[in-house]
Structure 1
Amino acid sequence: MTDSWATFGADLHIELAGPGLRSGLMDALRDAVRTGRLAPGTRLPSSRSLAADLGIARNTVADAYGELVAEGWLTARQGSGTRVAERAAPRRPATGTARSLPARRRPAHNLAAGQPDLASFPRAEWLRAARRAVTAAPNEAFGYGDPRGRPELRAVLADYLARARGVHADPERVVVCSGFVHGLMLMGRVLRERRVRETAVESYGLDVHWKLLRDAGLRTRPLPFAPGHGTRTSALAEAKGVGAVLLTPAHQFPNGVALHSSQRSAVVDWARRTGGVVLEDDYDGEFRYDRQPVGALQGLDPERVVYLGTSSKSLAPGLRLAWMVLPEDLVGEVLEAKGTMDWVSSATDQLTLAEFIASGAYDRHVRTMRTRYRRRRDQLVATLAERAPGVRVSGIAAGLHAVLELPPGTEQSTVRAAAWQGLRVEGLTRFRHPDATAERDALVVGYGTPTDSAWPGALEALANALA
């Protein structure tokens, strides 16, 4: 006979098998401890409670507990109850593959691009905003939500994006999504349904974005890149069969230049003439240092440009909060692709972000981080001028990373030299589209990634690698 039971206070499951109840209970408890289901320190139910759950005599449970205490499996102290004894964790046998692989040294410093300083996340302000937001939230906010996202966040985003990024945003056209990747995935589905078969992309970017478009059934065609001008969108005039284009106009990733005004006009003209869709990735538009703010491309034609923004660089990628501002004719199609309810973005996180922006905390945080990142950038430039004067630094007027120009043929050896210094850094080649023409050797250095305490060591390691 097999009995299943749930304890009072902690949900546990043990099966008693065999004719002997006491021995069966002891075997089951030993097995639960041995396999880790009952962790060291776990308090077991009282003998009375467990006996009642199992339908057996209390003395049977008490005797089983007593013997397991004597064997060292359990401990029993007055006022503390019966608990699982502290034991050394069982050693798992290593597989042949694991034994054959050498241990990999973890980099001591990380200068990979694409992530902010996570230690600077404004925890106290975020908690205060969360408390205010949850307290004021209507009851329906905790139900299945509108697929567009919480109306409070969409209204605040519309105001903020118009003020800070020059976006023409109606709250009814704002759709909240779980990160930029989620938004791009939705747009990939919509474009496929519209029978788009090919999307133009920048010759340098993130392979995960190209893969998402390919997974949606879209081919990707790289556009040429012109130093100083950014992506040559004028080449779209001769790109037959392209129905959409993905761009980072305010700060090309990873080359770091803004899209030239002539090329901004060219891509909008192409979209109007052909009915094409422009996907604008404004991933770090809040951070600029030595230039006037570059407004969103969407402001030139809100009916042809899909604006995609995110909190991943301004706050933290772990929030999984991003947004799209859509042309009117795309809203319904995107919502159909997303589904009938908002199942990917937490309502409480959306309400908190809305309160965080509305209270002014978001602007204060961005200004603080802009000053901090600019100081790091200046330290990077000064250190390289002294220690590696032959390295030219570019793409530094905005953003969280810089491009370090290297002599031809030295990119891979420099990446290896950095690894010897315990430094993770990536070469520009890693971001080049497979069909794009190789242009130059360089490092892409994310100076926003380290914490303040780790930054001096990372900078020293970089200088040593380049020297």
Structure 2
Amino acid sequence: MRSLPDQSLGYSDPAGLPALRETLAGYLGRVRGGSCEPDNIVVCNGFSHGLSLLARVLAERGIAVEDPGHPNWREQIDGAGASWHPVEVDGEGVRVDRLAASGAGAVLVTPAHQYPTGVVLSASRRIDLLDWARTSGGYIIEDDYDAEYRYDRHPVGALQGVAPDHVIHAGSLSKSLAPGLRLGWLVVPSALRDEVVAARARGDRFTSSIIQATAAEFIERGDLDRHLRRTRRSYRQRRDALTAALRQQLPACGATGISAGLHVLVRLPDRVDATHLAATAAEHGILVHALDRYRASPARDQPGALVMGYSRLAPATSRKASSTSPP
């Protein structure tokens, strides 16, 4: 507040403060292999807000979504007046071979760490997806929601850096800092930039200048990098403690997905009702979700699974649970 010039507290550019957009362009190039200029960045109030802007701009195209995928994103697309089309996810990520049949002109994907299955989009699927976009003239919306949290190796680079004319890269500070900040960004191809900014201007105009300026300084002086190094260690310990407890207490179940993010997918034995199990856990103060909650339609003839978050689960809690007698 002491350093902000007076004009920064007036009505500002709906694309975002120039200082933050410049900082983000450098950060994304250094950390995620992005390829963008500050002018390609549009600051928004978190990913859900950014998706609603994109859904308005891309409404006539229709948007394919991963299945299973986050139900909130389907609701955002619906609310913006666009149509969504589910496309199956398997062990290699989204089934790119089924995109053409969806009829959609855009696709929303989580390639670095699919939500909620935890798989990474395979190298061959990445190539196929980029080929689909170039051949069809479609757009890929890359939700890079937790790429900062990969524990066994460096995360795969962003798709946007390979095909900046066809990929809309979306990120936020919701997982790395706090969702209450409501700060995210879109890296938009030049062909769509003016439409997205116009959609922003017609809505809530711009994000808090104070939050934007603070974030720019926080990133610029290296505080975000230091925070991520510290929290990566913490979250890896929490994930390791949870998966160790699962192996000891529930050996018939398996935590799947890569060592990354803030959740694991736990596959259940045949004939175990995941929805009933999640409801029973909730009665005991344990919040987990059945995988079917994330599907466009319930799966048939597939084992159930639970989505379990561990960001607030201290390692000592998991170790205490694993020291009790198995059920």
Please state which band the TM-score falls in when normalised by the shorter chain.
over 0.9
Q: Is the 8 A contact 1:223 1:231 kept in 2?
A: yes
Partner of 1:231: 94
Equivalent residue letter for 1:225: V
Partner Cα separation in structure 2 for residue 462 and residue 210 of structure 1:
37
Per-residue deviation, 1:206: 1.4
- Alpha-carbon distance, 1:390 to partner: 1.4
Residue type at the aligned position of 2:239: R
Distance 1:459 1:413 in 2: 25
Superimposed CA distance per residue, residues 108-159 of structure 1 (whole angstroms, 9 cap, x where no aligned partner):
xxxxxxxxxxxxxxxxxxxxxxxxxx32222210110101111111000000
Listed as ranges, the matches of 1:361-400 within 5 Å are: 361-400=223-262
Matched AA of 1:260: S
Q: CA shift at 1:419, angstroms?
A: 2.6
In structure 2, what is the Cα distance between the partners aligned to 1:465 and 1:219?
Answer: 49
In structure 2, how many angstroms separate the alpha carbons of the residues matched to 1:404 and 1:242?
A: 31
In the alignment, is the contact (CA less than 8 A) between 1:423 and 1:458 conserved in 2? no
Match of 1:302 in 2: 164
Structure 2 unaligned runs (5+)?
none
- Contact conserved, 1:251 with 1:398, CA < 8 A, in 2? yes
> Where does residue 110 of structure 2 map in the other structure?
248
Amino acid at match of 2:84: T
Code of the aligned partner of 1:203: D
The whole-number CA distance in structure 1 between the counterparts of 2:13 and 2:202 is: 7
Checking the alignment, whether the CA contact within 8 Å between 2:68 and 2:88 is kept in structure 1 is no
How far off is 1:340 after superposition? 6.4
Secondary structure in 2 matching 1:137: coil
In structure 2, give the amino acid aligned to 1:446.
G
Among candidates 58, 83, 95, match of residue 219 of structure 1: 83
Shift of 1:458: 6.3
Deviations 1:216-266, CA, capped at 9 Å, x for gaps = 332222112222x11111222443x31110101100000011111111111
For normalisation by structure 2, the TM-score amounts to 0.93
CA contact (8 A) 1:314 1:366 kept: yes
Tell me by how many angstroms 1:384 deviates.
Answer: 1.6
Report how far residue 343 of structure 1 moved: 3.6
Counterpart residue number, 1:445: 308
Cα deviations by residue, 1:161-210 (Å, 9 ceiling, x for unpaired): 01101111210010000111110010011012xx32x3211011111211
- Mapped to 2, the partners of 1:276 and 1:340 lie a distance apart of 25
Distance 1:217 1:153 in 2: 30
Please say if 1:150 is aligned against 2:17: yes
Distance 1:462 1:185 in 2: 42
Is 2:50 the counterpart of 1:186?
Answer: no
The letter of the residue matching 1:160 is: Y
Counterpart secondary structure, 2:115: coil
Q: Which residue of 1 aligns with 2:146?
A: 284
Establish whether residue 174 from structure 1 lines up as the match of residue 37 from structure 2. Answer: no
Q: 2:277 — aligned with what?
A: 414
Q: How far apart are 1:317 and its partner, in Å?
A: 0.1
Task: Map 1:13-412; keep pairs closer than 5 Å.
Answer: 134-192=1-59, 195-196=60-61, 198-227=62-91, 229-239=92-102, 241-339=103-201, 343-410=205-272, 411-412=274-275
| 1:303-346 C-alpha deviation (Å, 9 max, x unpaired) | 00100001000000000000000000111000111116974411
**C-alpha distance in structure 2 between counterparts of 1:303 and 1:465, whole Å:** 56
- TM-score, scaled to structure 1: 0.66
Question: Please, which runs of 5 or more residues in structure 1 have no aligned partner?
Answer: 1-133
CA–CA distance in 2 between the matches of 1:152 and 1:354? 6
SS class of match (1:175) = strand
- When the two chains are superposed, the root-mean-square deviation of aligned CA atoms in Å is 2.1
For these two proteins, the number of residue pairs brought into alignment is: 326
